[in-house]
Chains A and B, each alone.
Chain A
C-alpha cells in the first residue's frame, strides 16, 4: 500500500513538473527547443531534478550560450519551483546539433 502511494505521489510530482516545464518551453521558444527531466537522488543522497535543456544552435553559440542557459535556468526555477517540491535543481545543456551527433534517447 505504501509503495502504491509513493508511486502515485511520484506520478503527481512528475505531472506537476511537466506542466511547469511546458510553460517554461513556451516562454523560452525559439531559443529553447525542448526540456526533459529526471527525478532522482544526487551523489549526496538529496532528492533532485535534473533538467536537460535543448537549445537551438544559434542560442547555444558561445557568445550567447551563458545568457541562454541563465535565462532557461531562471525561467525553469520560476515555473517549476523545485525548492518548494523538496528537490535540488540541476541543469544540463546541449544544442540541437550536439544532440544530433550523440542521438541520446534521454534528450529526445
Chain B
C-alpha cells in the first residue's frame, strides 16, 4: 500500500498510468491475500503455488455476490469491498476512456486497507474459511 503514501504526498498531478496502476494494485493485493490464505490450508507447501493458479476472478466474484446476501456484517464488508475493487480494477486495466483522479485511486486503496483489517479479525472463523473454500469448490 505504498502507493497511498506516494499519492497523498504527490503535489504534482499524478499520471493516469500511475493512478490506474494504484487501483489495479489495490485489487491484486486483496486478491493475493485471499488466495494465499486459502492455500495456507494446503498441507504440502511446495504445491501451494500450483494451487494458487486454480483461483479465478469470475468464480471469486460469484462467491462474493452470494456471501454478500447471507454472511455476517464483517464478511459481507470483505465480499462487497472485493466486488467493488474488482469492478474498479477492470475499469482501470481495460477501459481507456475512463479517466482517474487521485481521489478515486486513494479511495480504492483505502477500500483495500479496510478489507485487510477486517479480514485479519475474521480470517479464522468458520464462515470466512468456507468463503475461501467456495472459491475452489463449485456448487452442485
- Chain A interface residues (CB < 8 Å from chain B): 42-44, 46, 48, 55, 60, 62, 65-66, 69, 88, 90-95, 98, 101-102, 104
Structural contact, A88 and B104, CB atoms closer than 8 A: no
Task: Provide the bound-state CA to CA distance between A61 and B58, in Å.
Answer: 35
Please name the 9 residue pairs, one residue from A and one from B, whose CB atoms are nearest each other, closest first.
A43-B90, A98-B101, A94-B101, A93-B103, A66-B110, A69-B107, A62-B8, A102-B99, A94-B103
B: residues with CB less than 8 A from A are 8, 13, 58, 61-62, 65, 83-84, 86-88, 90, 94, 99, 101-104, 106-107, 110
Is the pair A65, B107 in contact by a Cβ cutoff of 8 Å? Answer: yes
Please list 30 pairs of residues, one from A and one from B, whose beta carbons are closer than 8 Å in the complex, sorted by A's number. Answer: A42-B90, A43-B90, A43-B94, A44-B58, A44-B61, A44-B86, A46-B65, A60-B103, A62-B8, A65-B103, A65-B106, A65-B107, A66-B106, A66-B107, A69-B103, A69-B110, A88-B83, A90-B84, A90-B87, A91-B107, A92-B104, A93-B103, A93-B104, A93-B107, A95-B103, A98-B101, A98-B102, A101-B13, A102-B101, A104-B99
**B62: A residues at CB distance < 8 A:** 44
In the complex, which residue of chain B has the Cβ closest to the Cβ of A50? Answer: B87
Nearest chain B CB to A101 CB, angstrom units:
7
Whether A62 touches B104, Cβ cut-off 8 Å, given contacts A43-B87, A90-B84, A104-B99, is no
Interfacial chain A residues near B61, Cβ < 8 Å: 44
In the bound complex, CA of A98 to CA of B19 (Å): 13
Q: Is the CB of B58 within 8 A of A98?
A: no
Whether the Cβ atoms of B87 and A42 lie closer than 8 Å is yes
